Amino acid sequence: MDKVALILVIIGALNWLLVGLFGLDLVASIAGDPMALLARIIYVLVGIAGLWCISLLIRMCKRHD
């Protein structure tokens, strides 16, 4: 689950990079519309992955204490 979460967070980060640099929302481009069901599902999955990565960070910090 950690690897899947990291991959989704990386995809989200790259999407935001494209939005910031070029105004291109790749997820919305693929789904056809930012509010399309597919785009919203992808955004939700990336958000959940981000939350999961918070727990991953906490677990990593506890190992190094």
Q: Which residues of 9-23 are buried (b: 16+ CB within 10 A; e: fewer)?
A: bebbeebeeeeeeee
Tell me: pLDDT of 25 over 90: yes
Which residues, 6 or more positions from 6, have their beta carbon under 8 angstroms from its beta carbon? Answer: 49, 53, 56
Give CA–CA dist 40/27, Å, rounded: 9
The per-residue pLDDT for 34 is 78
Q: What is the per-residue pLDDT across 30-48, written as a single tens digit (0 to 9) for each?
A: 988 878 899 999 999 999 9
User: pLDDT grade, residue 2 (50/70/90)?
Assistant: very high
Q: With cut-offs at 50, 70 and 90, classify the pLDDT of residue 3.
A: very high
What's the domain range around 31? Answer: 2-63
C-alpha to C-alpha distance for 37 and 5, rounded to whole angstroms: 21
Number of domains in the chain: 1
Q: What is the pTM of this model?
A: 0.82
- Statement: residue 53 has pLDDT above 90: yes
CA 53 to chain centroid: 10
